[in-house]
Amino acid sequence: MDSCDCDCEPHLLRSLLVFKNTINHELIRSLHVYGLDEGKRNEVEREFVFRENGLYVELPAEPLLRLMKFPASQVLQGHVNGCWVCILAFHENSPPDFTCIPSILSVSRYPFRGSTVEFDVHPLRNPKLKTIPKLSNDLQIIFELSCKTDDKKSLQRSRQETSQVSNDSHHKSRRLPIPDLDLNSLPSPITMSDSSEDQESGRSSPGITEKKKRAPSGRIANIALSDLAKYFDLPIVEASRNLNVGLTVLKKKCREFGIPRWPHRKIKSLDSLIRDLQEETEIQQKENKAAALAVLKRQRMLERERESIERRPFLEMKTETKRFRQDVFKRRHRARALRSQGLSTSSN
């Protein structure tokens, strides 16, 4: 692929991948795939610094994302490549869901190409994007394509609903019910009590459930990493209930913060090891003071590791901790085997 940073026509954008660094959250990398003549494609990689208290700056970018094992067309949002996590994935045949895109990449509906509306009238939701036009222009194009796709879908849906209603009315007019009446007597009037009973039975008919309300988008956007950290010790399903958001929304927030997997299992495993060491410390205090100090030292190390995982949940457990956990599992297995062997011997 040609790696030159050329200015390509906007309508030739085929893919756009935006990655966020999980260690330095101000570093952003983007991979732009443009279509060229004769079916060729040009991949351009860029790197930016998204300063919280300053303007955004583009840096010289060495090829890094282009060294991925997967082609750009197969990368989806949430994909992890080393210390980089994908926070936006656009492909020409599958535009992204803009309701799940981080606020740092948010663009407004205007201005479209050919529109007379200026940026000053309808600014970008993140005005700092104006300082890096090579990325903001492509984001605006993607958002414009997404809006046009949504308009086509809504128009098609309304046409289908209209045709369905006309078909239903046509069938109703052709198949009128024939009442079973005695022509020699007057029809009995429907009393108010009967009609009210019918209405009440219609309201309480089984099988009709109310649609579950979605959490407000403003409250979802205000969920911070510290809010998620309160529930890292719970399974992700229970955490979503406590946060009063859907499971899918919670997973998207995790990807936004660079959390590839919910850290419940790591926290639970560390808590179990810490409890075992606390019990071992109490036993060694009575028998061997030096051994008790060694056990206490390892307990403090595990507690510090647990705190660091709560602060940076994308971290993996240390290799030393994994080996210690494996030794604990082996000791427990041997103890259970000895107990079962002793029980079988005593029964015999």
Q: Does 232 share its domain with 331? A: no
pTM score, whole prediction: 0.41
- Count of domains for the chain: 3
pLDDT value at position 138?
87
Dihedral of CA 227/85/40/132: which sign?
Answer: positive
Domain assignment present for 172: no
Q: Does 307 share its domain with 334? A: yes
8-state DSSP, 36:
-
Domain assignment present for 151: no
Domain assignment present for 210: no
pLDDT value at position 192?
47
Q: Does 323 share its domain with 238? A: no
Helices first, then strands: H and E counts in the chain:
9, 6
Q: Does 251 share its domain with 268? A: no
More confident position, 312 or 115: 312
* Amino acid identity, position 319: T
Each residue's pLDDT tens digit, 264-275: 888 888 888 888
Each residue's pLDDT tens digit, 47-87: 999 988 888 999 988 877 766 667 788 888 888 888 888 88
**Confidence grade of residue 202 (pLDDT, cut at 50, 70, 90):** very low
pLDDT value at position 115?
41
Domain assignment present for 246: yes
pLDDT value at position 179?
53
| Peptide linkage before 123 cis (omega within 30 of 0) | no
Domain assignment present for 196: no
Average pLDDT (301-310) is 86
Domain assignment present for 298: yes
Query: Range with the lowest mean pLDDT among 21-35, 67-81, 127-141?
Result: 67-81
Domain assignment present for 304: yes
Rounded CA separation 310/231 (Å)? 10
Q: Three-state SS for 288?
A: coil
**Confidence grade of residue 158 (pLDDT, cut at 50, 70, 90):** low
The range of the structural domain enclosing residue 232 comes to 218-256
Last residue of a domain, one of 90, 122, 145: 145
Domain assignment present for 154: no
Q: Please determine, for residue 24, whether its predicted confidence score (pLDDT) is greater than 80.
A: yes
